Structures are given as C-alpha cells and as structure tokens.
C-alpha cells in the first residue's frame, strides 16, 4: 500500500492556542478525490488551513506523502480573499504559481511562461492570458486560480469552496476541470464545499467536520440521506 498523500495523526487545530478541532486522525490516499464537508462554522476552513500548514498544529502530527519543500501543495483560496486593487493580468496570476519552485533572484523565465500557458490551457482559458484578472467572471477567476495552483506542479490540490457564488454553468465547468485533473493526472484533491448535490456526483470519499472533530468515510456513507437529514434536516437530504 502506497504512502498516503496526507496523514493526520491525533491532530488538534485552533487559533490563539484555543482548539477548534481535536483528535483528528485520517489519511487522504494518493490520487483520491475527497470532499471536506460539514455545517457552517464547524471548522472546515480550519482543517484545510491546517492541512496547508497555514495554521500551527497545537497537538499531533501532519505528514505528507511528498517533500513539501520541493513540491508544495497546490492551493486555491476563496477568490474574495484576494484584493482587486492589484493590477494583474491572467498570465501574471498564473505565473505566481511557478514562484513555488523559483529561488530568490531567479526570475520567471521561458520555462515558467510555458508552464503557465499549459496550465491555462488545462483549464480552458489560454485565450485570455493577457486580459486583466479582475475583469473576469467569478467562474473564470476560479479556473485561473486552479491554473495558478497547477503551475506549482503539485501532487496534492486543496481548494477552498471553488464553486461558492458562481452560476450553475460555471460550477459545472469548474467541477469538470477538477474531476479531469483527478482522473487523468492522478492528482490528489481535497475540496471544501457547501454544495452537497454537486459534490455527491464526483467524490469518492468525504471528510465530515462537526462537533469539534472530523471523520473520513465513503461518499455513500457520509452523504446518505439519513446522515444529511441527521445534520441539516430533511430538506437538505432531498437536495
């Protein structure tokens, strides 16, 4: 059995020394497509930030199935966290992903530009490389941020609600890109989402965050109408 892409062993995560999630033990296997779900305020983003190394681990251990220094994870943040005051073209945003493997004083050269163009092509937006990033629609911006994450040449891709606030057509396009990356490139994907109906169609496993902890199981098990009704009520279970 191969080393998991990501393994959490009795992990406690929180802010300012206060635990939000305690005793989290789970593993995400190589090539797995996993959704990180749970009610609002349960700690989904806390767990994702812990997985990314953005939050210090208060107790326990997080291990990666790859060398984080040479191959950092790909990260797609919520697009609202980025400030539109920055004058950036689409290509400049995607090129930022290549900075992961560049040393200080090493400029983004031809290889990095070629890689950025390839990543843009993978998300189907290579034709708009020179356009201002902020002029794009929400769905296009998300795909550009996915391209930026790919430009880091990651083995693990973590996405924070990539389909939040985008129209249904764009949601389908985004999920299609992520599913293809998982199936065709074997990229391990962890995706935070609120949209159970969409997630149910594409993921095989689910990390369920609730009550100060997190459990991992199959999508059939954790997204069963009984479990959803138990957490959200009968209306959500029918969605």
Partner 1 sequence: MSTLVQILSPDFLLRDALVGSVLVGVVCPLVGAYFVLRRMIFLGVALPQLSAAGIAFSFVGYRLAVGAHEHGNVSERELAMLGSFAFTLGGLLVLTAFERRGRETVEARIGVTYAIAAALTILFLAVDPHGDAEMVNLLKGDILATTRTSLTLLAYVLGAVVLVLFAFRKEFLLVSFDRDLAVVFGKRAALWDGLLYLLIGITISLGVMTAGPLVTFGFLVVPPLTARLVTRRMLSFSLVAAAIGGAAAFGGFYCAYRMDLPLGPAEVALASLMLIAVGAASMIRQGVARLRAP
Binding site for partner 1 (CB under 8 A): 52-54, 68-69, 72-73, 75, 77, 81-83, 85-89, 92, 96, 99-100, 102, 104-105, 107-108, 132, 152
Rounded least distance, CB 148 to partner 1, Å: 8
Rounded least distance, CB 33 to partner 1, Å: 20
Rounded least distance, CB 147 to partner 1, Å: 13
| The two structure tokens encoding residue 130 | 């020179």
Rounded least distance, CB 132 to partner 1, Å: 5
Question: Taken in order 83, 85, 87, 89, is the CA torsion positive or negative?
Answer: positive
Rounded least distance, CB 113 to partner 1, Å: 13
The smaller minimum CB distance to partner 1, of residues 98 and 122, is found at 98
The smaller minimum CB distance to partner 1, of residues 97 and 196, is found at 97
- CA 191 → CA 28, 69, 111, 124, 134, distances in Å? 12, 22, 29, 20, 24
List the Cα angle 60/20/203 in 5-degree steps. Answer: 80
What is the distance in angstroms between the CA of the first residue and the CA of the last residue of the chain?
A: 36
The smaller minimum CB distance to partner 1, of residues 26 and 152, is found at 152
| The two structure tokens encoding residue 75 | 């990260």
The smaller minimum CB distance to partner 1, of residues 54 and 234, is found at 54
Give me the phi and psi of 129, to 5 degrees please.
Answer: -55, -35
| The two structure tokens encoding residue 55 | 């939050």
The smaller minimum CB distance to partner 1, of residues 161 and 171, is found at 161
Q: CB–CB of 133/88 below 8 Å? A: yes
For residue 9, the cross-strand partners are 61
């Amino acid at each position: 059995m191969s080393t998991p892409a990501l393994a959490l062993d009795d992990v406690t995560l929180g802010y300012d020394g206060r635990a939000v999630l305690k005793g989290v033990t789970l593993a995400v296997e190589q090539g797995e497509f996993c959704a990180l779900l749970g009610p609002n305020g349960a700690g989904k983003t806390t767990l994702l930030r812990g997985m990314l190394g953005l939050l210090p681990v208060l107790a326990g251990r997080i291990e990666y199935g790859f060398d984080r220094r040479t191959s950092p994870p790909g990260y797609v943040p919520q697009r609202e966290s980025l400030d539109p005051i920055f004058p950036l073209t689409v290509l400049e945003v995607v090129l930022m992903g290549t900075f992961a493997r560049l040393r200080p004083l090493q400029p983004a050269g031809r290889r990095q530009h070629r890689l950025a163009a390839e990543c843009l092509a993978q998300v189907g937006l290579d034709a708009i490389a020179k356009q201002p990033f902020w002029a794009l629609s929400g769905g296009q911006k998300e795909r550009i941020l996915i391209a930026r994450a790919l430009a880091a040449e990651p083995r693990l891709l973590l996405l924070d609600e990539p389909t939040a606030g985008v129209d249904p057509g764009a949601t389908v396009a985004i999920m299609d890109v992520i599913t293809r990356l998982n199936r065709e490139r074997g990229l391990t994907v962890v995706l935070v989402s609120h949209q159970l109906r969409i997630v149910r169609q594409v993921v095989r496993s689910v990390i369920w965050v609730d009550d100060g902890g997190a459990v991992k199981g199959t999508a059939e098990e954790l997204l069963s109408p009984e479990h959803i009704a138990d957490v959200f009520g009968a209306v959500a279970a029918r969605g």
